[in-house]
Chain A
């Protein structure tokens, strides 16, 4: 049964009423249908195609400051009621048909999906996907040398969601995310370099058709050629210039997560009591929003049915807001920001980032490099993580030494290590070239689509791990 079918109202309203009658403060149901297509090209052959589809529901019950969450693949009336019973039991509640429920019924459906019904059908067919991927790996062969492995991968994630809650939330949305990755392994004797790039958009079915494989392959192969013969970086403390786009992953991991109310609840953010206080250099303004057209982290509504906002997290170094979801607002009093997100029905929503970036500043990238006497330019970042006490570390995929204000030799093996509280005051210069990059973020409510971003920034000192 499609989610726009009015029969869902008849199935969901009794569920919400039953939860309220059992004594729950709030009952929320998240329904999902999904359709995924993954494909992999290696060298000049499609080696894997992995379609999948599914459906499920997450039922969440709140009582006081506590909540219980149950997920199931069974979307029948009995299956959903069984999930509700289990969630109620977690809070010591029992269904009681004779109790008043105080539930006034669901309002008309807010249907953000109406204009998106054609997205799945309009996205590339499997033959088109295969053809584009092979164009990509062929372009890698044309533009690269010493390539031992060439890979192109594609993923299309389509999601149809319906959210209802006993507070009158009743909304539906369709999401379409497409991502494309290119990777090479270059090898020459003992020299090896593996380099990858990922591109991703939301809500643009045509995206893969518009992709320029030659431009992507040229960019990637140029990096691989540079890094193949690079020496290992010498470990130590350096001033660092971080490139725009995916350089923003450090802000996302090291600072952004600490501004989610889930971290306030856990007591694991050093910024919990810092609203209105300076936590970063005055050059830093940071924003999280779900509104940028086509960006990976953009949404018409979050996974709790709320429209996303543009949230200024840090304004000229001063902490302004936290990202908050329904539970975060209840437990920390930080108002919701349309940031309740989850990977799928099997996760309860939590406060998560969307499109997160440092705002542009007045400088040019060249100004930043010229300001460093001896340091490191991090052109392409790899992955990283942040520990429970705020310590972060990031692999640098492509880096160059800066000597007397000039880029000189490429170096490999660099890892940036630090702590958000110490590094934020050291971001002393921001350039004027903000760009965003698509990524995936794994955390308490699963892996979600996000955008990271920044202009070129200068960090006055950071520990660089190397050999």
Chain B
């Protein structure tokens, strides 16, 4: 049986409650971010249900300005009147430790019109329906190759969720979403050889829209492609990043574009870096939450500012930083829709579009990692970096350095051999100025849009 989507959060009622409770607490300025969600998910193991989960979650964060104009917050999952009153009291107490050197204010865009976006609300299916579909996907994946014996990490999930932003100045934002996700991570093993694994993921607005077949095929193809493996010799290589891998790398160094990190002195960029070259002239990077490929795009950020495309690098030159209200004020610009909510407001990217700068020759033309003699005669071996791991540990964002394990292939004369275990290391500033060019059309992934990216001279460490 399908369950229709109905709204749970009532912005008008919450506003009325907060106005009353804030007045009782002697608070005149406040804002509130709330969310609620209903999730169901299943995992399977060789045709049997492994775990079935359901969750009803509610959360609210209230932020208040005290008599001295200082800001404090408190978060809670208790949306009852008593819970909200306690949260206001907690926020008031915290506000006595607000930072007088940097006081957030309401976003000047908190009441600006939102961009219309096609985000269909899909009904939820029963958990037994989820289970049946995942069992079938697992069965198809196991049947795709005799070496694939298990799918140890898998999950099919659906969520209906709501976000709300209101403030004492009358701003009211509300967004309702339904999403579904599938991940399949298979393990393959051949006698006498090490196990190999890889996977795929798909997102959609509803279960019916999920590309289950594509996910199974991609997980199978990726896993099988690593069966024939060999160690790689340590050295410097020309590397070809998959769209997913390059997006992960850029995401890990997004402090380059983050005004909060710039002001805190932990970014490689500085206030005067805007307008200066950061990359090869044919690279452009835009943050665009509203791209249709971004399933579940947020329409507004934690401060109620509408999300919108923002050109970060254009023609290799750093053009804009991501901003909250407070950082935008410090830079003398408008907020960009990338804020969280807090006493000290965090700033983060949404969804990257990476590719060639329009009108500029996009580096070397006709790159093809599988060309029999490489992209040009005598070029030597290529390393294809399919996916990066352990970004939280191997990236020193404030230093620009990275050393990351990866799954990928060594390509010699057009033939691919999976790399057994290796890391790729370098400096992000060098990477951005060592791009050779792009290969193929851009691909939509959960974290952005990007083509294959060729980079010269990265250090690979292996056991060969």
Contacts and interface: CB of A to CB of B under 8 A. Distances in A.
Interface of A: 39-40, 42, 45-56, 65-74, 83, 86-87, 89-92, 126-127, 130, 148-149, 185, 192-194, 235-237, 265-268, 346, 348, 382-385, 387-391, 393-395, 412-415, 417-419, 463-467
A53 B396 contact: no
B201 interface: no
A194 B398 contact: yes
Interface string B394-421: 1010111101110000000000000001
Q: Which of A45, A192, A417 has the most CB of B within 10 A?
A: A417
Contacts of A50: 73-75, 94, 342-343
A66 B75 contact: no
B423 A417 contact: yes
Contacts of A466: 403, 425, 459, 461
A464 B196 contact: no
Contacts of A387: 197, 389, 405
A388 B405 contact: no
Given A51-B90, A55-B78, A70-B54, A389 B266 contact: no
A417 B97 CA distance: 44
B77 A384 contact: no
A90 B398 contact: no
A266 B265 contact: no
A395 B45 contact: no
A68 B393 CA distance: 34
A465 B461 contact: yes
Given A346-B55, A393-B389, A48 B152 contact: no
Contacts of A384: 390, 393
Given A185-B265, A388-B187, A69 B52 contact: yes
B276 interface: no
Contacts of A383: 390, 392-393
A49 B86 contact: no
A67 B394 contact: no
B97 A194 contact: no
B74 to A, nearest CB: 5
Given A387-B197, A395-B403, A71 B128 contact: no
Interface in B117-144: 127-128
A175 B240 CA distance: 49
A256 B269 CA distance: 40
7 contacts: A50-B74, A90-B54, A267-B152, A383-B390, A395-B403, A465-B403, A465-B422
A316 B398 CA distance: 42
Contacts of A54: 59, 75-78
Contacts of A394: 393
Given A348-B51, A393-B390, 9 more contacts: A49-B97, A50-B75, A50-B343, A73-B56, A149-B398, A235-B425, A391-B405, A395-B390, A415-B403
Nearest to B195: A389
Interface residues of B, number: 73
Contacts of A267: 149-150, 152, 187
Contacts of B425: 235, 413, 415, 465-467
A46 B55 contact: no
Contact of A194 (B77, B197, B396): B396
B54 to A, nearest CB: 4
A158 to B, nearest CB: 14
A268 B72 contact: no
A324 B344 CA distance: 41
Contacts of B393: 382-385, 393-395
Contacts of B86: 53
A389 B197 contact: yes
A69 to B, nearest CB: 5
Contact of A72 (B55, B343, B423, B462): B55
A265 B77 contact: no
A287 to B, nearest CB: 25
B54 A87 contact: yes
A185 B459 CA distance: 25
B90 A419 contact: no
B463 A237 contact: yes
Given A73-B57, A266-B150, A415-B403, A235 B461 contact: yes
B266 A46 contact: no
B94 A53 contact: no
A34 to B, nearest CB: 9
Interface string B374-386: 0000000000000
A65 B48 contact: yes
Contact of B152 (A92, A268, A391, A415): A268
A388 B344 contact: no
A91 to B, nearest CB: 8
